[in-house]
Structure 1
């Protein structure tokens, strides 16, 4: 089944509808996700970064199963996460922080594999390339960076990167 997810900002509810019939499947409550902060992790979960206030110094990411409206996992972080992305199979999740850092987690274990300084200001959007070899990050500092990812066994290395500035 193909579904559509929508997040009404005022209500803080994620709605899930069947794409073909239009019938509502589930409602996931208590979501305070920023734009670019709601993702599908493969076909297994929905993940949402939570921003209570822009001035807050901590953050969290909530995970829901596709089949249950209750939060299954809560992950608490030292800083707000503004954007999330998952690679296509759903084995890795990356989060872009208000500080400009990027966090990389392994979904299976929940383990933080890497944290690195990516930008000078908040990371506002993240996306993996179609073949998952690149992670592209965008920031309030006006840059987009393509990070080349090489996976060796269970260790993920962030290798060389390219910077594009002010592409207006």
Structure 2
């Protein structure tokens, strides 16, 4: 059976593997090529797969416990970023053309899709309390979106950024992270320019920036 602790791994261009940390055994796998994945809840992950063998790019919700695919959606463009909000059941992803997609994972409904950046959406992250969605792009811009706006707007009405941070980076922003906490939790952005910025999204303010020794590719929460 599946233990209480598992790890999910994916090699570049490969599939998604589920490992039991207690025994070290491979429990289950999902065919690739997997580009991005994010944990939806205690049993499911959302997976963005690249096109292959005549198939389109694809987004799917997959149960790592049973191996069953719960939801499958063909996508026109490849995803560059993906995240999930387990507390509220939302999924958000950004594609290589600058467009963001927002789903309700409990129903499978696409609630919104809009042009959020001028270039590829390189990172997306929900705030811990599910108030904000933060997006970053190859256009060197970070935008903060109110989830209530995204959910309540008609699909034909694109949301407007609640907060925009266009001046912190000069090169593509590669990573976003949130500190733990409530509505006032701080966020951090990191870019290929080596700049790491601390953001108060609720107050629409940059609290400070530092320069690392090289390009920032990831941030750990």
Q: Tell me the TM-score normalised to structure 1 length.
A: 0.81
Please, which runs of 5 or more residues in structure 1 have no aligned partner? Answer: none
Say which one has the larger Rg.
2
Instruction: Kindly indicate whether structure 1 or structure 2 has the higher relative contact order, using CA contacts under 8 Å at least 6 residues apart.
Output: 1
User: What is the CA-CA distance between 1:86 and the residue it aligns to?
Assistant: 0.7
Are the structure 2 counterparts of residues 44 and 164 from structure 1 closer, same or farther at C-alpha, using a change threshold of 3 Å?
farther
1:3-82 equivalences in 2 (<5 Å): 3-10=6-13, 12-28=14-30, 30-34=31-35, 37-52=36-51, 59-82=57-80
RMSD of the TM alignment (CA)? 2.6
- Contact 2:88/2:130 (8 A) holds in 1: no
Please, which runs of 5 or more residues in structure 2 have no aligned partner? Answer: 170-190, 196-221
Count of aligned residue pairs for this structure pair: 160
Secondary structure of residue in 2 paired with 1:150: helix
- Contact 2:16/2:34 (8 A) holds in 1: no
- Contact 1:43/1:90 (8 A) holds in 2: no
Determine the C-alpha separation between the residues in 1 that align with 2:110 and 2:78: 16
Q: Tell me the TM-score normalised to structure 2 length.
A: 0.63
Are the structure 2 counterparts of residues 43 and 155 from structure 1 closer, same or farther at C-alpha, using a change threshold of 3 Å?
farther
1:1-168 equivalences in 2 (<5 Å): 1-10=4-13, 12-28=14-30, 30-34=31-35, 37-52=36-51, 59-89=57-87, 91-150=89-148, 155=152, 158=159, 160-165=162-167, 166=169, 168=195
Moved more, 62-71 or 95-104: 62-71
Determine the C-alpha separation between the residues in 2 that align with 1:60 and 1:93: 14
User: Which has a greater percent of strand?
Assistant: 1
